[in-house]
Chains A and B, each alone.
Chain A
Amino acid sequence: MIDAQNVSKLYNRSVYALRDLTLKIEKGDFVFLTGPSGAGKSTFLRLLLREETPNKGALRVAGRDLSRLTTRQVQAYRRGVGFVFQDFKLIPRMTVLENIAFVPKVLGAGSVPMRRRTFQVLKWVGLQHRMNAFPLELSGGEQQRVAIARALINDPVLVLADEPTGNLDPDLSLEIMNLFREINARGTTVVVATHDRELIRQVGRHTITLAHGRIVENE
């Protein structure tokens, strides 16, 4: 699924965010990306979302070299990738329902299948009773579930999450992780960046540890 070959990313001339990174993540894998602050976790996810491209090396996802995509191909690629951030990134002036339906709407989906699918994912994260609430009326855990529903609406083959539980207490964190496990159980590849070692211990999956942009552990 993901194949990184000697990937390096520099933000400035001298600062390596990622250095000579080589790794493989299989289709259907559930991977934790961990390591201290500044290790390059977010950078790697940004490369996978094709927000950035590597300065050196090749990063392939599902056989596609992410450095060699046209604008249209980037759009097509991103439609198959779901993302979740630590700060949820919900749109405050839209209701829960609108936040989720926003994605198929801006991708030009018809309104009937769009509605059906929106209800489906909303139900799946257990928030159908809150669909007319606004994000700021929800708890952190609920907001993150809305964000997860939004990430799932396109049936992505790959879900990326950057510190999805960073703003949540341990119980809620585990609850959110269970959602990711369920997503993964249906065959979707999941990559979660977190420095919450306790959470990793509880969930116990394939873990890649980074430090200073290099892999220090891959188990």
Chain B
Amino acid sequence: MRAFRYCVDEATASLWRGRGASLLAILTIAIALFVLSGFLVVSSNLERLIARWNDAAELSVYLADDISQEQRISVDQVLARNDAVVAAREYLSKADALRRFKRDFPDLATTADGLASNPFPASFEVRLRAAHSADDAPAKLAAQLRQTAGVVDVRYDRQWIERLSSVADLCRLMGYVLGGILVAAAVVTVTSVVRLALYGRKDEIKIMELVGAPIGYIRGPFVLEGTLQGGLGAGLALAALWSAVLVVRSREYQVVDGLADFSATAFLAPSLAALVVTGGMLVGCVGGFIAARTPR
């Protein structure tokens, strides 16, 4: 306990004495962890978005204006036969489509009224089973529907979601790679900063060794100094990231209703944030440890 108190006192005193260099180490750790966790925040938010879109994944089957009664029934039967993929289907007539448009976009309602004829096609709105949202069954169904007579278009947003999902993966990968490189750089910086503190006190260390001080008293303060730098750096990174999230949240660029709601941008999960702090302290600890053992 006394040894720990000693290490804490010495480490904080040393941090303060070398505050310029310490700040440098803290900043490099902060930058490394900011980049790493920044990419994680972006990718996790993308994933959340993708998950929401996935849940809402729908297949829209647009019908020709001149579709016959039989053709419409056969389209309906195709959907009925595929009930392994289709959770629910709803027929939307041209009039229903216009009404829905007016409801969703009240500003444009008068414009729509001014049109000579109803431009909206009738459609089947198909809700897919969640279990199938990831495989290619919906895509096959869409292809089949496109071949069916009376169908003018099938809209299925899978590809888009998949592309976004690979962007999220890339984002995470970049975070790991860039973050990894920067973390390595941070370890090097902490090592040299702590080593600097160590050289500044080599007479002291020599005397400690000669009077038979325990290793913990000799190396402990330096390891702790690195650990403190790491913890402070991680705290700084999280604070910066938190402000960045707040800035994004306050922005007014809400793209179409419910599509991407920036005000709901999520921060790191608490466990992940704790991991970042622990990681930062570990980075500093490793740097301090390397510095404390090399010059002997």
Contact = CB atoms under 8 A, between A and B. Distances in A.
Interface string B156-195: 0000000000000000000000000000000000000000
Interface string B192-235: 00000000000110111111111101100000000000000000
Range of interface residues on B (Cβ < 8 Å) = 10 to 19
Given A89-B207, A91-B204, A76 B2 contact: no
A49 B212 CA distance: 10
Interface in A57-75: 71, 74-75
Interface in A80-121: 83, 89, 91, 102-103, 105-108, 110
B80 interface: no
A56 interface: no
A79 interface: yes
A78 interface: yes
Contacts of B210: 49, 51, 78, 83
Contact of A108 (B2, B203, B218): B2
A95 to B, nearest CB: 14
Contacts of B211: 78-79, 103, 106-107, 154
A74 B209 CA distance: 10
Contacts of A108: 2-3, 6, 214, 217
A134 interface: no
Given A108-B2, A108-B3, A79 B212 contact: yes
A71 B3 contact: no
Contacts of B207: 89, 91, 102-103
Contacts of B206: 89
Chain B: interface secondary structure? helix
A77 interface: yes
Contacts, number: 45
Contacts of A106: 6, 208, 211, 213, 217-218
Interface string A191-214: 000000000000000000000000
A51 B209 CA distance: 9
A107 B206 CA distance: 14
| Residue among A49, A77, A108 with the highest chain B CB neighbour number at 10 A | A108
Contact of B212 (A78, A91, A105): A78
A91 B213 contact: no
Contacts of B218: 106
Contacts of A107: 211-214, 217
Contact of B203 (A49, A51, A83, A91): A91
B203 to A, nearest CB: 6
A77 B210 CA distance: 10
Given A89-B207, A106-B217, A76 B3 contact: no
Contacts of B6: 105-106, 108
A205 B107 CA distance: 111
Interface of A: 49, 51, 71, 74-79, 83, 89, 91, 102-103, 105-108, 110, 154
15 contacts: A75-B212, A75-B214, A76-B212, A78-B210, A78-B212, A79-B211, A89-B203, A89-B207, A91-B203, A106-B6, A106-B218, A108-B2, A108-B3, A108-B217, A154-B211
In the A-B complex, list the 10 residue pairs whose CB atoms are closest, starting with the nearest.
A78-B212, A75-B212, A79-B212, A106-B213, A106-B217, A103-B211, A106-B208, A91-B204, A108-B2, A107-B213
